[in-house]
Structure 1
């Protein structure tokens, strides 16, 4: 999902907390279908569409979301929601509820209800490769959070359909870059040169064997060289060339095995061709993304809540994909995390372009679904957490000791 849509859907969820909803959710136990019904009402729908379009008029890159952040804060102020700013440069962390445990967080799309429990609102910058989630964690944004939900729209899934699965859902990813150096010279006398282009070509072919010949076929992995730069004339062999790419896997062990072998292959194959090579994994510019793994218990929670909103027949199992998501950083510090996909393709309309396409558009009819689902996921989690505490006297005593 493009970042501006993420900000918008956070607003949508927050708007569900405003005064008019209070009558609907008396006691903090509204039915999930009531969230969707409310989100579809014209006053909310027109508001969220207006916000989305305002954000899209001024797109901002990672850690440069200054106007978007200001818009977020103005809306939070309007709703009387407290927040911290700045967090991770342009990020905003809002709080709705008592300010006491239990805490549940919603990243990107966000809402909460005024009940025992606190919802943490994570307005995260720099999702597209900038490691914004990691910086939010370093700033303490998810301290004490017990569970966190996030989602992505799916342009090739019909609207009203949601998709997810327990366990790994998106791959861990990293990037590499290598400079392969030889000895340049005239193309007509290659015997007086050490050709780095030939060396790099052999390196690229050998890198493909890491997956086809060294990886378990049942353990999905990817190594892709997507960058090859060097030379500038038809008749000159350059002194060096630069190659770069990405590697991905569904387990930590496979990921770091790939990392080790990528460096070994590049250096070794360059040496065979009488060249030298230096390899960088660009961790400062593009931090490694962990595998995105869905908690089994939260998956059962998602199936129940989503079934109430879209119907059990509209929940699909989603096959893992090799794309990566910086939401995975939260799983390293938050006990329970969950990520799902929300269809927005209108079957009677023109096919939507993928999220990274310059022709990507948002089907605004999806907004009520995202708002209602995220609102209900947070509400039902807190209800179950509260009910569990009531059934366990020791836990209830422990959670209330600060008021004795």
Structure 2
């Protein structure tokens, strides 16, 4: 008999046995709590789990779907949950759903993954390139799903050790659709004590995580403006009212909102990213359309920008004898993503036990936005980044690039962090007394 074939199995059994022994005692000391994330990471790195997560991620990558269109994506995930014996409630927000692991009773803690892809053509040539023209998982959501499924597998194997309920949130339409907003409006976070979300990042090395307490990502909104004039021949501009010229002056004037009206210590952004007008080089069109985004780190700043954007566009258009209509309604406003201070310290403790102090990085706020903010606005939430840059390998392209790739070595880290944060939260934050009228989730 080849003993070497038994070594991985014996090692896995040892890790499982060690984790179970750790959890048998409800009154765990710090040393025992510290073993949970270490053991989960060791389990997540086992070939049978890692290879399975890689396979799931690659299937999703080959078949990307846009926001609220993730029907096959959702079906694949639910099929995996069915095989694990994990119940779920579907549909929520068209294609989203939530799964349940544990007692079905309080405390409840949630871990979340987004499922949607981007509307862009993949430029990376590899075996599992997107099979759908003009669609690509260019932000790592396929990896996020694989990680949450990996965490589900780890937690389901230890479901009898959970002292409460873990809610798995599979969310549609993060990329501008506000899927999280719709999910919260259905009441999925009722009685949930906290929610955690993650994002893969090419900015940080593999084996490291980055986050901060307080505001981490900006709130954002979008706008579109139609500037109407009077078209005519380009050789006779005196007989026209030129919307192209008016729109150009509007764009320049919008730049002064940040440079001359915003507090320099209060980060804000106004960007015009679309300009459409005219179809011929010698014809002045009747109208021009511009569109863009605005961002700030406070609701007051965001609403102030919204008000001034509309004023500047309409009044600057009037200076050029044009009229303008401004629309803010196509996409929801994203709130500022704010990390709960207490959860920040809790996250650092769990991540430190798994990765070591030097791999816990403090990051600066960035002007990107995340609809995880809708969850964190309703209950205490925490959002963090998991590094996947291998310094000895090729430099990875950032998200939203057609050359974006995922270092699949990151998958065990995300799965183990999800599982560890959820399990330890249920152990460390037991309610002193459970109310008899608290809704149970075991029937969902």
Q: TM-score, normalised by structure 2?
A: 0.81
Equivalent position of 1:358 in the other structure: 402
Aligned CA distance change for structure 1 residues 20 and 236 (closer, same or farther; 3 Å): farther
Asked whether the 8 Å contact 2:15–2:39 carries over to 1, the reply is no
Superposed counterparts of 1:157-172, under 5 Å:
157-172=204-219
User: SS at the partner of 1:25?
Assistant: helix
Q: 1:298 to 1:377 in 2, by over 3 A?
A: same
Under a length normalisation based on structure 1, what TM-score does the superposition of the two structures give? Answer: 0.89
| Contact in 2 for aligned 1:101/1:399 (Cα 8 Å) | no
**Which digits, 9 at most, give the CA deviation of each residue in 1:257-298, with x for residues without a partner?**
0000000000010011111000001x3x31111000000000
CA contact (8 A) 1:186 1:236 kept: yes
Whether the aligned pair in 2 keeps the contact of 1:181 and 1:276 (CA below 8 Å) is yes
Is residue 136 of structure 2 the alignment partner of residue 136 of structure 1?
no
For residue 320 of structure 2, the aligned residue among 270, 273, 293 is 273
Shift in CA distance, 264/253, structure 1 to aligned 2, threshold 3 Å: same
Deviations 1:133-170 (A, max 9, x none): 11111222222111000011111211111100000000
Deviation at 1:70, TM superposition (A): 1.1
Q: Which residue of 1 is the match for residue 238 of structure 2? A: 191
1:23 is matched with 17
Taking a change above 3 Å as real, the CA distance of residues 119 and 21 of structure 1, as seen in their structure-2 partners, is farther
Aligned-partner Cα distance in 1 for 2:372–2:439: 33
- C-alpha separation in 2, matches of 1:52 and 1:240: 45
- 2:306 is equivalent to residue 301 of structure 1: no
Confirm or deny: 8 A CA contact 1:289 1:326 kept in the other structure: yes
| Residue correspondence of structure 1 range 33-52 to structure 2 within 5 A | 33-52=38-57
- Which of 183, 199, 215 is the equivalent residue of 2:262? 215
Cα displacement string for residues 46-65 of structure 1 (whole angstroms, at most 9, x for unaligned residues): 11111111111211111111
Kept in 2, the 8 Å contact 1:175–1:286? The answer is: yes
Aligned to 2:144: none
User: In structure 2, what is the Cα distance between the partners aligned to 1:201 and 1:167?
Assistant: 38
C-alpha separation between the residues in 2 aligned to 1:178 and 1:341? Answer: 35
The 1:187–1:79 alpha-carbon spacing in structure 2 relative to 1, beyond 3 Å, is same
- Which whole-Å deviations, capped at 9, do the CAs of 1:99-131 have from their partners, x for residues lacking one? 111110000153345222111110111111111
Q: 1:38 to 1:266 in 2, by over 3 A?
A: same
What RMSD over aligned residues (CA atoms) do the two structures have, in Å?
1.9
Answer yes or no: is 1:97 the counterpart of 2:91. no
Give how far 1:400 is off: 9.4
CA distance in 1, matches of 2:15, 2:279: 64
Measure how far apart 1:20 and its partner are. 9.4
Report the CA distance shift for 1:127/1:20 in structure 2 as closer, same or farther (over 3 A): farther
Task: Find the counterpart in structure 2 of residue 65 from structure 1.
Answer: 70
Q: 319, 325, 332: which one pairs with 2:377?
A: 332
Which residue matches 2:433?
396
Counterpart for residue 175 of structure 1: 222
Q: Retained in 2: the 8 A contact 1:85–1:91? A: yes
After superposition, residues 214-293 of structure 1 pair within 5 angstroms as 214-281=261-328, 283=329, 285-293=330-338
Kindly tell me the number of residue pairs found equivalent between the two proteins.
376
Measured in 2, the distance between the counterparts of 1:213 and 1:80 equals 58
Q: 1:148 maps to which residue?
A: 195
Query: Is 1:85 matched with 2:90?
Result: yes
CA distance in 2, matches of 1:20, 1:400: 41
**Partner of 1:338: helix, strand, or coil?**
strand
Secondary structure of the structure 1 residue equivalent to 2:334: coil
The structural deviation recorded for 1:19 is: 9.9
